Structure 1
C-alpha cells in the first residue's frame, strides 16, 4: 500500500522532496562547511570570512543538488539501496567538479586538476556523511513506528464508549431492530479499523466514512444534543492520509465539549484544499479551560507524533480556544497535510 512516510522502514535513502529532509541537508552541509572554516582559521574573524567564502560556493551547489535529487527521488528508490547511495555520492562529486571547473572557465578560480579533484572528493564526502546520518536516523525511527502503532491500537476507543454504545444498541433491539443491527455493524467496522496496520496510509474517503460511523454511534446515545456539520470542498477523496487521525479528535470533541455541556452542540468538520496542502478544521463548543484536560492532550500528542513520523515537518496540528459572542467558548483544531504522495 502506498505510504508517504519520510523514510520508509528499511530504506536508507530519505525522501528528497520532503521539506524536513531538505532543511536537514542544508543545515548539515553548512555545519560541515563551518567546521572546515573553523579548523583552517586563525581566529573568529578569519573563521567567519572563510565560512562566507565557502558559503558562496556551497549554497548554489546545494540548491542544484537538492532540486536534482527531488526530481530523481522515485527513480533512486527503485534502485538497490547501495546503488541509490552511490548515485547520490556520484552526483554530489560530479556537480562539485563541474561547478569549480565552470568558475575556472570564468576566470573566477585558478582551477587545476588538484583543486578539481579535491572539490569532487569534498562533495562526495559531504554527501556520504549526510547519507550515513539519514541511514542511522531511519534505523532509530523504526522502533518509534512500532511504538506509535501500539499507541494507536490501545488509546483510540475509550472503554466507556464501548459500554455506552452496547447499552444504546440494546435499547433499540426490540423497538428498532434494523437500526440496532446497523449500529452493531458500524461498531464492528470501527473496531476492525483499529486492528489495521497503522503504518500504511488510507484514502481520505475511508477515514471520513469511519468518522461518520463513529458519530452515528454517539448520536444513538446523545440524540439531538449532537449535531454534526460536514463541509468538504474540492478535496480528492482518494487522497492518502494517516488512519485514525480524525476519530480521536472527534471523540475528544464529544467527551470534552458536547457531553459535559448538557445542551445541544454542533460539531463542525471542514476539509479544503489549498495548493499542495490539505486543510482540516474541527470545532466544537467547550467550557472555558476544559480543553486542556489530560485525555485531550494525550490524544493530540499522539496524533502530532504520528504526523511527524509520516510527514516530518510538512504537516502541522494547531489548537486554539476562542470566545464567541455571548460568552460561549469554542475549541478548534487545525491540521495541515501535504497533498502529494510518494510511492515507496
Structure 2
C-alpha cells in the first residue's frame, strides 16, 4: 500500500525540543570545527572560548528571533521558508561580527564566515526535515493503533443493545443515542493525523459518556470542570475519550458503589493541563487485558510525535483514586481547522 506523501514544513521554533536540538547541533559542530582546525593542542582552550563567544552571539539571537516569528514562518511554503530562515540567521551573524570587531578575533575568520553559517543552518533544517519524514509513518501507525484500540466489539454491541431497549419505550432517547454513536464512530474512522481543537475532543468525550450512561445509568457520573478550558487549544485527536473509557472500565464498571469521574481542564500560563481522575478498582479486582497500558502508551507516543519534549503524561495511583495528568503547550487552532503534525499552526 502506498503511503501518502509527507508535506515538508518548517519546524516550530517555539518548541522546546526544536530549541534543544538546535543548541546541541550547533555546539557539536563548534567542537568538531575547533578540534579539526587546531594547529597545536595546547591552544585548544583559547580557540574554543573565542569560537564559543561568536557562536553564542549568533545562535541565541537567531533562536530568539525565529521563535518570535515562528507563527508567521509556519504559514510560509517550505521552499520559501528555508531561505527566509537562512536570511534571518545571516543577519544575526552579521550583527555578531560587528560586535566582535573591537576584539579582532583572527581565529574567527573561518568559523564566523557566512558560508559556514549558511551551511550549518541548511544542515539543521535538513535534519529536521528527514526526522519529520521518518516520524510520519510512525504517526500513521499510532493512529491505526488508536483506531484498533477504540473499536472494542463489546462496547459497540453493548451500545446497540442499549439503543434497542429504548426504541419502543423512549424513541427520542434512542434516536439521540444513535446520533452520539454515529458522531463517535465517524470521528474514529476519519484521518486523525492532524491536531484537533480541545473543544472538539471534549464534545466527542461527552458523546461517549452519553452512550455509556445508557448502559450504566446512575452508576456513571462525570464531573466536568472546563470553565478555564482554552477551547481553541490544539491537542492530538482521540486523546480524551480513551482516558474516560479507561476510567469507566477500571473505576466504574467493577465498583460496588458509584463514584464520579472528574475531568479538569485548564490553562496555566503557556501550558494546557488535562486531569482525568477516577475511583480505584475494588480490592482483588484483576484486569483481564492490557487495554489501559496500551491506550496510555499510544497517547504518550502521539504527544511525543506532535509536541516533542514539551508535552508529558504522568499517572498517579493511590488508595482513593487513579489519575492521569497530561500537559501540552498551548497552541491555538482558531476555528474548526486542524493543524498538520509537527507544525502547530
Q: Give me the CA root mean square deviation.
A: 2.7
Contact 1:100 1:119 in 2 (8 A): no
For normalisation by structure 1, the TM-score amounts to 0.86
Say which is worse superposed, 62-71 or 119-128, in terms of deviation: 119-128
Which residue does the alignment assign to 2:324? 333
Contact 2:159 2:211 in 1 (8 A): yes
Distance 1:290 1:60 in 2: 59
Distance 1:285 1:216 in 2: 19
Shift of 1:319: 0.8
343 and 322 in structure 1: CA distance in 2 versus 1, 3 angstrom threshold:
closer
Which residue does the alignment assign to 1:319? 315
Decide which of 100, 104, 113 is 1:103's aligned counterpart: 100
Distance 2:42 2:245 in 1: 58
Decide which of 174, 191, 194 is 1:197's aligned counterpart: 191
Distance 1:29 1:285 in 2: 48
49 and 302 in structure 1: CA distance in 2 versus 1, 3 angstrom threshold:
farther
Distance 1:215 1:30 in 2: 51
117 and 316 in structure 1: CA distance in 2 versus 1, 3 angstrom threshold:
closer
Distance 1:62 1:202 in 2: 33
Distance 2:156 2:173 in 1: 17
Q: Any stretches of 5+ residues in structure 2 without a counterpart?
A: 333-342
Distance 2:116 2:23 in 1: 16
Distance 1:168 1:44 in 2: 79
Shift of 1:292: 11
* Pair 1:243 & 2:252 matched: no
> Secondary structure of 1:155's match?
helix
* Pair 1:128 & 2:119 matched: no
Q: Any stretches of 5+ residues in structure 1 without a counterpart?
A: 1-7, 325-329
Written as runs of structure 1 = structure 2, the 5 A alignment for 1:177-216 is: 177-216=171-210
Q: Deviations over 1:173-192 (max 9, x none)?
A: 22222222221221111111
Distance 1:291 1:42 in 2: 66
45 and 242 in structure 1: CA distance in 2 versus 1, 3 angstrom threshold:
farther
Contact 1:317 1:334 in 2 (8 A): yes
Shift of 1:66: 0.6
Q: Deviations over 1:30-51 (max 9, x none)?
A: 1111222332458988555543
Distance 1:203 1:110 in 2: 51
Shift of 1:250: 0.7
Shift of 1:60: 3.1
* Pair 1:68 & 2:65 matched: yes
For normalisation by structure 2, the TM-score amounts to 0.86
Distance 2:292 2:275 in 1: 16
Which residue does the alignment assign to 1:36? 33
Contact 2:230 2:266 in 1 (8 A): no
Shift of 1:333: 0.5
Contact 1:269 1:281 in 2 (8 A): yes
88 and 111 in structure 1: CA distance in 2 versus 1, 3 angstrom threshold:
farther
Shift of 1:117: 8.6
Say which is worse superposed, 230-239 or 190-199, in terms of deviation: 230-239
Contact 1:168 1:221 in 2 (8 A): yes
Count of matched residue positions in the alignment of Structure 1 and Structure 2: 329
Distance 1:10 1:46 in 2: 46
Which residue does the alignment assign to 1:4? none
